[in-house]
Structure 1
């Protein structure tokens, strides 16, 4: 089986579809386009592009192909168990990093291209990598990435939890992400109880109520001032379905989104 014939290939644990990235992963796009958004920047990944999505970040993405047969990718997960075992062998010295982006764009190198094509002999008939070779191929790719981008040492082998952050700034930046209150608490460096206590002290209401109101005010603005349709915005604002969005909107404003 050739790389170009794959629908998708995961090496290591599959990533969660949630917008919270729990483990680092490498993405190589065989065909298609993906738009990523990390709360600050938008990143476009096109056919032949590759990058690293960092753990402990919030990221939204959407595919530009409706036809799944035209959308093909290779994902290599660098989970914490694997990375700790890897660093026991190489013993990298880890310092602080100044890199804040959730999406990393490694320096282009033919070594990555060669790695992708080197996967072909390991595919089964079902188009997956034989599990016996997971760690071997992941180690090879990680060595390539670190050779070309040594500053990534401080990212891959930082096993700490997020530092305590300014809740007000963090929430005003990330309120559109559809993740649990527990995730928000973790990313601001707090226990759930401490997060709720600090949140209510700052915003004078519960996180759940604040999130709904913040998203709905933004929705009202986009519909009224930007002529957006509810169907265009409800997912981007963290609502799981259109009916829930419409119900919450009418409950808050007294009229439906279509009546704005």
Structure 2
């Protein structure tokens, strides 16, 4: 079994990857605070890569694209606690505080959080919850989310600009967005949503901008990036296909050979 999750409530999750390497695409509808307990988490965005180890914590803002690569480290599997800061709880929190909400979120990036006794205490307090043989009461779940918000605000004074942003994606430049984010293996509906378009409008605007279908363009761009990674960066095929947006190595190898006349392994061998 590649990954195991314990959900006492949808907002608080203990996750454990039991494989050596586990890959997934990420686009969360809620902000998420992630504490890595063991193993390693690599988060790849369009222009930045983060690596988080045991004891490190970060905030994953909502509606942001990333590839997550979870792997074991020091002989231990990847384990983490994920706390989703739901929009309902955030709205209630800021309304209760009578604080002005942000109009626009000011970051597109993952936010690494500094070491803090408050964070350590917060996550330690949740570990016993995952041993319960019954569902965590919703009221307690919401209290823990409120506690997480309070802790974040105490260690990052700019966090309100992100957490109090309740706006939905607006219609943006499709070409610029796709050129930055083509390596993320998202459904077309998600690409449309993030550019402020319905699926039908997204496909129409895409065809007008690129003179081809989204799937054909995405495949070509991902293969071009893979070729660059193999020839210029000296990376191995097993390390490349995840990062450029392919779901499995065999499909990547097939598409690559069809495009360039040789498999990724054959190309990599010629560069040694």
Q: Tell me if TM exceeds 0.5.
A: yes
Q: Work out whether residues 57 and 112 of structure 2, in 8 Å CA contact, stay in contact via their aligned partners in 1.
A: yes
Q: Deviations over 1:218-259 (max 9, x none)?
A: 223333444443323112111111221222223333443344
Which of 200, 204, 215 is the matching residue for 1:197? 204
List runs of 5+ in structure 2 lacking aligned partners: 16-23, 268-272
Give a deviation string over 1:91-142, Cα, whole Å, max 9, x none: 321124563243113454322222223335545346x973342111111121
Determine which of 136, 145, 151 is the counterpart of 1:130. 136
Could you say which residue in structure 1 is the equivalent of 2:18? none
Corresponding residue number in structure 2 for 1:95: 102
Query: Alignment partner of 1:76: what SS?
Result: strand
Q: Distance in 2 between matches of 1:47 and 1:177?
A: 26
Q: 1:172 to 1:104 in 2, by over 3 A?
A: same
CA distance in 2, matches of 1:69, 1:136: 31
Equivalent residue runs for 1:27-66 within 5 Å? 27-65=34-72
Structure 1 residues 53-202: aligned runs within 5 Å: 53-65=60-72, 70-96=77-103, 99-120=106-127, 122-125=129-132, 130-132=136-138, 133-202=140-209
Deviations 1:40-78 (A, max 9, x none): 212222222211101000012222416895433221111
The verdict on how the C-alpha distance between 1:80 and 1:67 changes in structure 2, with shifts beyond 3 A counting, is farther
More strand by share: 2
Contact 2:40 2:72 in 1 (8 A): yes
Higher mean C-alpha deviation, range 50-59 or range 168-177: 168-177
Query: What stretches of structure 1 of length at least 5 have no aligned partner?
Result: 1-6
Distance 1:99 1:200, change over 3 A: same
1:13 aligns with 2:10: yes
The answer to whether the Cα contact below 8 Å between 2:8 and 2:129 also exists between their aligned partners in 1 is no
Report the CA distance shift for 1:162/1:68 in structure 2 as closer, same or farther (over 3 A): farther
1:74-95 deviation digits (Å, cap 9, x = unpaired):
2111122332343443332112
Say which SS state the counterpart of residue 234 (structure 1) adopts.
helix
* Alpha-carbon spacing, 1:141–1:221, altered in 2? closer, same or farther (3 Å): closer
How far apart are the structure 2 equivalents of 1:100 and 1:77?
18
Contact 2:39–2:76 (Cα < 8 Å) also in 1: no
Partners in 1 of 2:223 and 2:239 — Cα distance?
14
Q: Which stretch of the first structure deviates more once superposed, 15-24 or 130-139?
A: 15-24
| Runs of 4+ off more than 6 Å | none
How well do the aligned residues superpose, as a CA RMSD in angstroms?
2.9
Partner of 2:43, secondary structure, is: strand
Supply the distance in 2 between the matched residues of 1:110 and 1:97 (Cα, whole angstroms): 30
CA distance in structure 1 between the partners assigned to 2:111 and 2:6 by the alignment? 20
Query: TM-score, normalising length from structure 1?
Result: 0.83
Instruction: Give the 3-state SS of the residue equivalent to 1:75 in structure 2.
Output: strand
Evaluate the alpha carbon distance shift between residue 29 and residue 228 of structure 1 in structure 2; reply closer, same or farther with a 3 A threshold.
closer
Distance 1:241 1:8 in 2: 22
Cα distance, 1:24 vs structure 2: 0.8
Q: Deviations over 1:126-179 (max 9, x none)?
A: 6x9733421111111212212333422232222221132222221111111111
